[in-house]
Amino acid sequence: MNMSKWTWKQILIVTVVALAVISIARSILPSSGGKGDAVDLTGHGSGRTTEVKVPEVRQPTKIVRFNGHKVPVGAGPVAVLNPALAKPGGQVGVNGSGFDKGARVDVMLSTGPSKAKATGKGKAKVKAPAADKGRVVASARANRDGVVNANFTYPVGVANQGGMQTVTLAQVGSTTKVAKAQLSAQSGVGLMSLSDEVGTPGTQLEVDAEGFAPNEPIKVYWGRISGVPSSMLRADPAGRLSHASLRVGVGAVGPNTVILMGARSKTTALAPFQLLRQYPMVLTKPFAARANQTINLTGKGFAPNERVLGYFNSPQGTPVMTMRAAGNGTIGGIGFKVPYGLFGRQSLVFVGEQSRASTKAGFLAQKYMPSVRTSTWGGLPGTMLNFYAKGFAPNEAVHVFVQGELVAAFRVNEKGSALAAGTYTIPADAQNKVVFKLVGARSQGVGTATVTVDKSEGKVQLPPQKKYRLPADLRY
């Protein structure tokens, strides 16, 4: 080519084109930077090329206005929870999209606040406790469309920490492939299980539970959640109950509910229970007794520690006795004295104050059958005699009657006996015999004695006897 004939305009055009080609080549081919293998642009090199890793570049977020609100577009992976309201021990489904094909994605659960909060306008900001980094609760691989599906069990006790829980989906090895979703938890809900689901009040059970505050007292209710708890348990340092002993309490017969409530945390756990009907029983021993004698009571089948009310012949009115059942629903060591004036077969009705379970027991009130005699079998008018008696009620007064008229009285001892007690003089006009009727003032026990009146040789001259007046201390 004869360049001497080129004009200066032609030379200028060629120079500009050459510079443009060199600039384009530099923008397409990366520089070796003086390190490693050089890039062969001529095609005559050794044939070796270097694979260049392009760093992950975060694209600027595009903001659009949607329905009056500014929202990001193409902000990265998205996470959705179903359900987004969880209870301890429940399953939470996780769906994520926007991840790399085949990438492993960890599902993490974190709790607590994550941002500092200001105490007020013009005041210094106080940092709240930072949220934990989260525990890995599940992992999954993204499919060819970059979609991840996973499930995890919501841990017991996490809800009691308060606040909103955050579920994070993070692609392993990437700092940008991250998605978050908010999880709301049923705070204060615990878990429990019983060793049996059927029984009567007083039945011994074992209970396992978790989700309570460490070492806190736990109130136990049956079919209600107010008033005095039927019993108290205590959580271990981990907030659990393990094979804790529990007696079935009082509730309505049929389907029922056992309720555990933490005294401090107010965490509540429930379990169903079928409460069976109670069949209490009370026995009297001895079955037959006289007034002022003791009859003992033993029974079983009542609710644990409930008060048992005893009624006479009818479960109405005022109870004649009260007693407290033991923890196993039994009663014992209790008795009553048969009252005076009661004779024949009688009934007692016993009712559990809480359970309202009832039963009936009977006893026989026997009469006193005393035996009496006089100090003499016979005598002439004017003969003074005394009385001997036994079988009356202890320490009671005995009234002596002749033909319905009170003629004497005395008191028996603690054994119901008397020796040469009281006095009576056979009157001058007595003939053939005198019949004495001795009546216990309290027991109403009756004994009779007869004295033969011997015939006198003539008319007996005796001063008239004064009418007997009963002393006040011998009325009963």
Mean pLDDT in the chain? Answer: 83
Residues 200 and 178 in one domain: no
The model's pLDDT over 193-217, given as tens digits with 9 standing for 90+, comes to 999 999 888 888 999 998 888 899 9
Segment 269-282 shows an average pLDDT of 91
Q: Pull the structure tokens for residue 56.
A: 């992950």
Residues 321 and 405 in one domain: no
Segment 371-395 shows an average pLDDT of 95
Residues 328 and 267 in one domain: no
Q: Could you give the CA distance from residue 257 to residue 272 in angstroms, rounded to a whole number?
A: 5
CATH number of the domain enclosing 143: 2.60.40.1930
Q: Which residue, 334, 366, 398, sits at the end of a domain? A: 366
- Is 81 part of any domain? yes
- Is 180 part of any domain? yes
Q: How many CB atoms lie within 10 A of CB 420?
A: 11
When comparing pLDDT for 19 and 382, which is higher? 382
DSSP character string of 189-224: B-EEEES-SEE-TT-EEEEEEE-SPTT-EEEEEES-
What total number of domains does the chain contain?
A: 4
Q: Which residue, 366, 395, 424, sits at the end of a domain? A: 366
- Is 7 part of any domain? no
Residues 271 and 298 in one domain: no
Confidence class for position 157, pLDDT limits 50, 70, 90? low
The model's pLDDT over 354-375, given as tens digits with 9 standing for 90+, comes to 888 899 999 999 999 999 999 9
Residues 167 and 205 in one domain: no
User: Mapping DSSP to helix (H, G, I), strand (E, B) and coil, where does residue 254 land?
Assistant: strand
Q: Which residues pair with 418 in a beta bridge?
A: 389
Q: Is 155's pLDDT higher than 90?
A: no
Greatest alpha-carbon pair distance for the chain in Å reads 206
Residue range of the domain that includes 341: 281-366
Q: Is 456's pLDDT higher than 70?
A: yes
Q: What is the pLDDT of residue 455?
A: 86
Residues 150 and 137 in one domain: yes
Q: What is the pLDDT of residue 39?
A: 41
Residues 375 and 362 in one domain: no
DSSP character string of 3-41: GGG--HHHHHHHHHHHHHHHHHHHHHSPP-TTSSPPP-S
Q: What is the pLDDT of residue 38?
A: 41
The β-bridge relationship of strands 397-402 and 344-352 is unpaired
How is the beta sheet containing 191-194 ordered, strand by strand?
A: 191-194, 204-210, 241-247
Residues 248 and 302 in one domain: no
Segment 217-246 shows an average pLDDT of 90
Segment 34-50 shows an average pLDDT of 43
Residues 160 and 178 in one domain: yes
When comparing pLDDT for 13 and 366, which is higher? 366
- Is 253 part of any domain? yes
Confidence class for position 327, pLDDT limits 50, 70, 90? confident
Residues 383 and 451 in one domain: yes
The model's pLDDT over 80-104, given as tens digits with 9 standing for 90+, comes to 998 887 777 778 999 999 999 999 9
Token look-up 């059942």 returns: 325
Residues 469 and 376 in one domain: yes
- Is 68 part of any domain? no
- Is 29 part of any domain? no
- Is 19 part of any domain? no
- Is 327 part of any domain? yes
CA 126 to chain centre: 42
Q: Which residue, 349, 366, 383, sits at the end of a domain? A: 366
Segment 181-191 shows an average pLDDT of 79
Confidence class for position 23, pLDDT limits 50, 70, 90? low
Q: Is 320's pLDDT higher than 60?
A: yes
CB-based burial of residue 293 (10 Å sphere; 0-12 exposed, 13-18 middle, 19+ buried)?
Answer: middle
Q: Could you give the CA distance from residue 145 to residue 234 in angstroms, rounded to a whole number?
A: 52
Residues 357 and 380 in one domain: no
